[in-house]
Structure 1
Amino acid sequence: MILYHASPYIIERPDVSRSRDFLDFGKGFYLTAIREQAEKYAMRFLRRGQKAYINEYVLDEDLSEYNVMTFDRYDEAWLEYVGACRKGNGGVIYDIVSGGIADDKVFNTIDLYFAGEMSKEDALGRLAFEYPNHQICILNQNVILHHLKFKKATEITIEASKNDSK
């Protein structure tokens, strides 16, 4: 499977320990199978005056020796797992987690829910109308060492992104 990671750096050897805490699926290395999504994310770095790269990897298809969780939609299980991870209570239960991103629209809903300003039922009702973007979080460094292969990095520039939108 081809996966992408947007960064201001070329990352040939990802390291789980360098990830930030309190992210959607915990402290891990985040990727997506949707190149356009990675390019959109890379624009954040350009707006900050940094370089932006799309790092491309191949992830082995057979990961049967690992504990993998896949969230197919924004449901109660996803909501509770993301909430626990964002509070730092997720713990490393899985080696790999795949599912939707808590992007701006989705994050507003879960933020209201976790602040106690929206019921779980209302939050799930709103999330039911959102089509999940895609992210894969590798939480186990052994998966990276043995099953994720760096292919290449492509620099993204403002000019290139303008040409792509024509």
Structure 2
Amino acid sequence: MKLYHGTNREFDKIDLLKSKPNKDFGRGFYLSADYEQALSMAQVKVEQLETGTPTVLVYEIGDDAWDNLHVLRFESYSEEWAKFILLNRNNPTHLPAHKYDVVIGPIANDRVGVQLWKYENCSIDLPILVRNLQYMKGVTIQYFFGTERAIKLLRRI
């Protein structure tokens, strides 16, 4: 399987310590199975950091590699997904909030972030949050690799 990582510069080694904490699935290396999505993320990163060039790095992971990983998959927005996102985004420690090697599921983009904010501020309850998310168009899936064990299975091509 090919996966793509959008960034603002080339690099050879994946360093989990350079990953930002409190992301959707925690501190880790994020990829997409969609090249255009990765390119869009690279462009956003260049805009945010005001440096670099949109760059898409291509990785491959063997189909048999998944058997050796502890994987959590969310097929779509759900109450479980929302709770998991909030768990990671609100993690007050430097330690991971979960024990998964890989997490696969929808991205909590800016539109989703607004809904999560409404939920956290008690403007909407969890069922309404999930209902609102399910009506959004353009659900995009992300692949989170959060352990060295998982990272070692990615091969740059």
TM-score (norm. length: structure 1): 0.84
Query: What residue ranges of structure 1 are gaps of 5+ in the alignment?
Result: 152-166
CA-to-partner distance for each residue in 1:73-127, whole Å, 9 max, x for gaps? 0001100000000001661321100000001111111111112221112111101
8 Å Cα contact 1:92/1:139 also seen in 2: no
1:134-154 C-alpha deviation (Å, 9 max, x unpaired): 100001112112x10011xxx
CA contact (8 A) 2:7 2:46 kept: no
Gaps (5+ residues) in structure 2?
Answer: none
Give the alignment partner of residue 88 of structure 1, picking from 73, 86, 91. 91
Amino acid at match of 1:143: A
1:61 to 60, 63, 77: 63
Deviation at 1:49, TM superposition (A): 4.2
Give the equivalent residue in structure 2 for 1:163.
none
Contact 2:10 2:55 (8 Å CA) reproduced: yes
Task: Please tell me whether Structure 1 or Structure 2 has the larger radius of gyration of its CA atoms.
Answer: 1
- Counterparts in 2 of 1:86-125, with a 5 A limit? 86-88=89-91, 91-125=97-131
**Once the two structures are aligned, what percentage of the paired residues are identical?**
26
Report the CA distance between 1:64 and its aligned residue: 1.1
For the Cα contact (< 8 Å) 2:9–2:52, is it kept in 1? no
Moved over 3 A (4+): none
The alpha-carbon deviation at position 17 of structure 1 amounts to 2.0
Distance 2:123 2:114 in 1: 11
Q: Cα distance, 1:132 vs. partner?
A: 2.3
- Aligned counterparts of 1:79 and 1:45: Cα–Cα separation in 2: 24
Q: Distance in 2 between matches of 1:43 and 1:52?
A: 5
